[in-house]
Amino acid sequence: MAKVHFTFEDKSISPVTVEAEAGKSILEIALENDIHLNHNCGGVCACSTCHIYVLKGEDALPEISEKEEDFIDRAIDPRLESRLACQSIIEDDDAELHVEIPDQSKIIGHEH
């Protein structure tokens, strides 16, 4: 099982570490573990509300597509380590990822 360490830009939220199977997206893993992450389009790479920062372990994810890159450009405060959680699918069962979730109060969106 892969490990995903979630930290939050909103420091009032405590870090969370969860185990996950390869083949699942960071968005799916967050939702399965009651971690708040907006996703207006339902996770189909049609918005930027599930924007995250992959601080470590990006080698266990697929290469970023042009479409994903275009949506990241529309996100609040994009960085070099920015990804969309819906497109960040863990490819390695032994992966260890460190993911920071941006402050969700800055995002106009809702959970599904």
Q: How many domains does the chain have?
A: 1
Radius of gyration of the chain (CA): 13
Residue 96 located in a structural domain: yes
Residue 11 located in a structural domain: yes
Structure confidence by residue, pLDDT tens digits, 7-57:
999 999 999 999 999 999 999 999 999 999 999 999 999 999 999 999 999
CATH of the domain at 70: 3.10.20.30
What are 71's two structure tokens?
Answer: 């949506």
Give 21: exposed, middle or buried? Use CB within 10 Å, 0-12, 13-18, 19+: exposed
Give pTM, 2 decimals.
Answer: 0.93
Q: Residue 4: which of 45, 44, 51, 58 has the closest Cα?
A: 58
What are 84's two structure tokens?
Answer: 């969309």
Residue 67 DSSP SS3: helix
Residue 80 located in a structural domain: yes
6: containing domain: 2-105
